[in-house]
Amino acid sequence: MSKKILIIDDEPDVMKMVVYRLKAKGYEIFTAPNGKDGVEAAKLQKPALILLDYRLPDLSAEEVARQIHINEETKAVPIILVTASAEDISAKAKECGAIDYIPKPIEPEELYAKVEKYIIK
């Protein structure tokens, strides 16, 4: 079973931290710095889980999630929304079709718990 995770985030420091922590737990990590690349990476890599930043430089998180979910090969991939916004995070996650969310700054234990809860092992 797949242990692939796609991280779509435009913040290099956040990306480095998440990649480092998840690789240390044995996950295979792929990254994309924007929404367009994230949609393409999802199609190519077919991850078991996607961590999607709410604010991206090119596409909205809603549009990225929509494009991922209309594709036959990626429609069932669960998405966890990652956001620094304190405003109604759960509503934003629902708007994106995300199954859950992780607030920034990301706490390692919360990251591990959410990933392990949703990824197919």
Over the stretch 20-50, which tens digit does the pLDDT of each residue have? Answer: 999 999 999 999 999 999 999 999 999 999 9
Mean pLDDT for the stretch of residues 100-113? 95
Please answer whether residues 79 and 97 qualify as being in contact, where contact means their C-beta atoms are separated by less than 8 angstroms: yes
pLDDT for the residue numbered 120: 59
pLDDT for the residue numbered 30: 98
All residues at 6 or more sequence positions from 87 whose CB lies less than 8 Å from its CB, including other chains? none
Over the stretch 58-99, which tens digit does the pLDDT of each residue have? Answer: 999 999 999 999 999 999 999 999 998 767 888 888 888 999
**Of 101, 120, 107, 117, whose CA–CA distance to 21 is shortest?**
107
Sorted by where each starts, the structural domains of the chain and their CATH numbers stand as 4-118 (3.40.50.2300)
CA 87 to chain centre: 19
**H helix intervals, 25-100:** 35-45, 61-70, 89-95
The pTM score is: 0.94
CA dist 67 and 40 (Å) reads 10
Reduced to 3 states (helix: H, G, I; strand: E, B; else coil), residue 41 is: helix
N-term to C-term CA, the chain: 6
